[in-house]
């Protein structure tokens, strides 16, 4: 069975600090997809990124960057120069190809607080 | 604007009552999903539907029911059989029935049983 572990439960940083959110996954499949979502206080989950298992290139989008390493089954998320608006719960999720369904397995989330 | 709407935002229910949560999407997505979120927990899948008039149980379907009579709509009924219904409920949709597909979420409904 697939599993996603987000060992950090809460992180608090001061504005402008860099912060890395860890995600470790378990799967038996060779083809799978990894996702990060942001959940601000309003509650809606906002899609941030999708990465397939064959693409290990790191991705950068503005202040956000993602480091995917199959050797350690990790898909970590770094926010550079954090801002108060980054305060949210961040979820990592895994989707396997087996079967015809797009079924996501979520980690328990990391609550990030960015203080001014 | 395209998106997913859920109503109501807050819902209060007395024990023993059934209640229906609404989810509508105008993204022309084929698949729709219902998740439950409890404090400090990740999202858990309740039901999902790939096409109209068809749906499958997720990991925690007991005490819930759904229907998919229209492509745009996927209402969730929380029945009195659900032992601990107080939670945050999120609806999602995706355009294709594959593992690579990205799910997009609505704003959620917070259900409280009094």
CB atoms A95 and B99 under 8 Å: yes
| Residues of A in Cβ contact (< 8 Å) with B40 | 9, 108-109
Q: For residue range A56-90, what is the model confidence (pLDDT) as tens digits?
A: 888 888 999 999 999 999 999 999 999 999 999 99
Residue A44 has pLDDT above 90, yes or no: yes
Question: What pLDDT sits at residue A102?
Answer: 62
| Residues of A in Cβ contact (< 8 Å) with B103 | 47, 102, 104
CB atoms B104 and A91 under 8 Å: no
Residue A99 has pLDDT above 60, yes or no: no
pLDDT band, very low/low/confident/very high, at A100 (cuts 50, 70, 90): low
Which chain B residues have any C-beta within 8 angstroms of a chain A C-beta? 31, 40-45, 48, 50, 56, 58, 88, 90, 92, 94, 96-108, 110
Round to whole Å and give the CA distance between B16 and B92: 27
Full 3-state SS string of B24-82: EECCCCCEEEEEEECCCCCEEEEEEEEECCEEEECCCCCCEEECCCECCECCEEECCCC
Q: For residue range B31-84, what is the model confidence (pLDDT) as tens digits?
A: 999 999 998 888 999 999 988 999 999 999 999 999 999 999 999 999 988 889
Residue A93 has pLDDT above 60, yes or no: yes
Which residue from A4, A45, A52 is facing B100, i.e. has the nearest CB? Answer: A52
Structure tokens at B28: 């022309």
Query: Phi, psi (5° rounding) for residue B75?
Result: -75, 145
The number of C-beta contacts closer than 8 angstroms across A and B is 76
CB atoms A32 and B99 under 8 Å: yes
| Residues of A in Cβ contact (< 8 Å) with B44 | 106
Nearest to A61, CA basis, from A25, A85, A88, A36: A36
Structure tokens at A89: 């719960």
For the stretch A78-111, what's the b/e string if a residue is b when 16 or more beta carbons lie within 10 angstroms of its beta carbon?
Answer: bbeebeeebbbbbbbbbbbbeeebbbbbbbbbbe
Query: Phi, psi (5° rounding) for residue A25?
Result: -125, 160
Question: What pLDDT sits at residue A58?
Answer: 84
Chain Cα centroid distance, residue B69 = 15
Residue B2 has pLDDT above 90, yes or no: no
Which residue from B101, B102, B108 is facing A44, i.e. has the nearest CB? Answer: B108
CB atoms A91 and B42 under 8 Å: yes
In percent, the amount of chain A with pLDDT more than 70 equals 95
């Amino acid at each position: 069975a697939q599993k996603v572990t987000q060992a950090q439960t809460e992180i608090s940083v001061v504005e402008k600090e860099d912060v890395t959110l860890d995600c470790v996954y378990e799967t038996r499949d060779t083809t799978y997809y990894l996702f990060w979502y942001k959940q601000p206080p309003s509650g809606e989950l906002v899609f941030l990124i999708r990465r397939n298992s064959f693409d290990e290139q790191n991705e950068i989008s503005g202040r956000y960057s993602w480091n995917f390493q199959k050797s350690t089954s990790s898909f970590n998320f770094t926010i550079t120069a954090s801002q108060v608006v980054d305060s949210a719960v961040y979820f990592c999720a895994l989707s396997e190809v087996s079967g015809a369904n797009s079924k996501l397995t979520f980690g328990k989330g990391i609550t990030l607080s960015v203080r001014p | 604007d395209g998106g997913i709407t859920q109503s109501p935002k807050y819902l209060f229910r007395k024990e023993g009552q059934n209640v229906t949560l609404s989810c509508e999407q105008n993204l022309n997505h084929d698949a729709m999903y219902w998740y439950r979120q409890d404090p400090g927990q990740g999202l858990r899948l309740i039901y999902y539907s790939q096409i109209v008039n068809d749906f499958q149980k997720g990991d925690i379907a007991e005490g819930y029911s759904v229907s998919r009579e229209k492509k745009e709509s996927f209402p969730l009924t929380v029945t009195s059989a659900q032992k601990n219904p107080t939670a945050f409920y999120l609806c999602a949709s995706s355009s294709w029935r594959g593992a690579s597909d990205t799910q997009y979420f609505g704003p959620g409904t917070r259900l409280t049983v009094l």
